[in-house]
């Protein structure tokens, strides 16, 4: 079986989540810096974890309109597809940050929620496929 990697893009940090081999459950995986080494780290994760699909959170406004952040994410999507040699699917992330903050509120020991947001995006995607 193969796994899916969920990605929550941020200018400074990128949250990652991974599915189980049956593609039923998404689990927060890592938070990595959004720097020049990002593609290399993702390649390593893809190889080690036997990732076959990538899902990237698609930021749209609550009304569904395009915004500046979406344009940046689309450029990131193109870069990943080019550098990783595999398709990257966009998935609506409208409420993922809010849901991640709710989880974070319950886990008082955590500071960052980027990987949790990635898990929310990935879990919603897994429920549709």
Stretch (H or E) spanning 26: strand 26-33
**What's the pTM?**
0.86
Domains and CATH numbers, the chain: 3-128 (3.30.420.140)
Give per-residue pLDDT as tens, 41-67: 999 999 999 999 999 999 876 666 777
Which long-range contacts (C-beta less than 8 Å, at least 24 apart) are formed by 74-78? 76/9
At 80-127, the pLDDT tens digits run: 999 999 999 999 876 555 554 555 455 555 566 789 889 999 999 998
Residue 76: count of CB within 10 angstroms of its CB: 18
Residue 65 Cα distances to 17, 47, 59, 62, 71, angstroms: 26, 35, 10, 8, 12
Spell out a b/e string for 87-102, using b for 16 or more CB atoms within 10 Å of the CB, else e: ebebbebbebbebbee
Angle at 46 between CA 84 and CA 36, to 5 degrees: 55
């Amino acid at each position: 079986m193969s796994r899916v990697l969920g990605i929550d893009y941020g200018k400074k940090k990128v949250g990652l989540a991974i599915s189980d081999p049956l593609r039923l459950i998404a689990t927060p995986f890592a938070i990595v810096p959004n720097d020049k080494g990002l593609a290399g780290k993702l390649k390593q994760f893809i190889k080690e974890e036997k990732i076959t699909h990538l899902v990237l959170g698609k930021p749209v406004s609550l009304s569904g309109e395009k915004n500046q952040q979406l344009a940046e994410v689309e450029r990131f999507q193109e870069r990943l597809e080019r550098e990783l040699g595999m398709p990257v699917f966009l998935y609506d992330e409208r409420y993922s940050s809010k849901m991640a903050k709710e989880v974070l509120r319950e886990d008082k020991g955590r500071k960052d929620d980027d990987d949790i947001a990635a898990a929310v995006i990935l879990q919603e995607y897994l429920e549709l496929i």
